[in-house]
Amino acid sequence: MPAIKKVSPSPKRFTFPPKEELERVRKRIARPGYRRVNIGLLSNATEADRAKYNLCLNISRYQDENNLTEKELAQRLGINKAKTEYILFRHLDKLTLEELIDCLEELHVPCELKNNSQYDYKKDASEAY
């Protein structure tokens, strides 16, 4: 019977950051006005927020595909750094649908918004009479 070879653990094991580092990061992101926190889409998001979130994703994808820095993206969009961070980190409450559509037009990115509503307007209108 062949001998079983024991495998030693990898020397590059994950170690959790020290408490001091975690506390430093917590303090930094807890500051009022901190913008560099990615905000996910809430499960109860409105249709407008879902549309804004998807437009932000398209702008982020454009940045990645074109290897742009935040500064370069801001220049192409003609907006300031703060507004660029709001887009990249999905701060939907600080953005309007119109602003995001303008940004995509500035980048010449094709975009289509669809209404996924199940509501049938024609049927409802015919029943009204």
pLDDT tier at 107 (50, 70, 90 boundaries)? very high
Residue-wise over 59-72: b if at least 16 C-beta within 10 A, else e? Answer: bbebbeeeeeeeee
* 129 secondary structure, DSSP code: -
For residue range 57-92, list pLDDT tens digits in order.
Answer: 999 999 999 999 999 999 999 999 999 999 999 999
Which long-range contacts link 45-49 to residues 24+ away (Cβ below 8 Å)? 47/115, 47/116, 47/117, 48/97, 49/92
Per-residue pLDDT at 128: 45
The token pair at 86 is: 């709001």
Q: Quick one: angle between helices 70-77 and 47-65, nearest 10?
A: 120
Task: Read off the pTM.
Answer: 0.64
Residue among 88, 52, 89, 57 nearest 72 (CA): 88
Task: Give the helix ranges, DSSP H, for 44-96.
Answer: 47-65, 70-77, 81-88
How far is Cα 60 from Cα 102, in angstroms, rounded to an integer? Answer: 15
For residue range 2-23, list pLDDT tens digits in order.
Answer: 566 565 555 677 788 888 988 8
CATH superfamily of 47-115: lambda repressor-like DNA-binding domains (1.10.260.40)
| Domain segments of the chain as ranges | 47-115
21: Cα within 13 Å, side-chain hemisphere: 4
Per-residue pLDDT at 129: 43
Residue among 60, 29, 46, 43 nearest 93 (CA): 46
